[in-house]
């Protein structure tokens, strides 16, 4: 089953954490000095926030995405990106956002970045954030 993903860049991580904890009625499931994530079932979303400035981004939507439940679903999403005739970057295995994942990226017709990924475990460090500016085919 897929889970919608939203990653925002925020001006003040603590203030935004308090705001979203109240909105969602739950504390973050991942709370690191530079990253917060809520894995919610109602609504079914992977919602994360990070300080602005990482990867040169200001506040606002960093990217949207779909988290899938298996490597087979990830392959299906990669095929869908291909059928959409959209630019693609198949990152493959990576460690980012305190998780071990397999990822692919695309941009919609208006340039909004979309990530599709399968996560198979958590990690103790953030890992390496991908700079997407020049990676899409």
DSSP state letters, 35-81:
EEEEEEETTEEEEEEEETTGGG--SEEEEEEEEESSHHHHHHHHHHH
Q: Where are the domains of the chain?
A: 3-122
Residue 137 has pLDDT above 80, yes or no: no
- The pLDDT tens digits of the residues spanning 74-86 come to 999 999 998 988 8
- The CATH number of the structural domain formed by 3-122 is 3.10.180.10
How confident is the model over 50-72, as pLDDT tens digits?
998 766 678 999 899 999 999 99
């Amino acid at each position: 089953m897929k889970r919608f993903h939203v990653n925002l860049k925020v001006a003040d991580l603590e203030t935004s954490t308090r705001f979203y904890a109240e909105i969602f009625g739950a504390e973050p499931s991942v709370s690191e000095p530079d990253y917060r994530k809520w894995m919610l079932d109602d609504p079914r979303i992977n919602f994360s926030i990070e300080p602005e400035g990482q990867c040169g981004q200001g506040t606002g939507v960093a990217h949207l995405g779909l988290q899938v439940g298996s490597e087979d679903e990830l392959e299906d999403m990669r095929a869908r990106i291909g059928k959409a005739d959209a630019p693609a970057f198949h990152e493959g295995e990576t460690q980012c956002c305190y998780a071990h994942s397999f990822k692919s990226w695309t941009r919609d017709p208006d340039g909004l970045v979309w990530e599709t990924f399968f996560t198979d475990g958590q990690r103790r460090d953030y890992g390496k954030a991908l700079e997407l500016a020049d990676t899409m085919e």
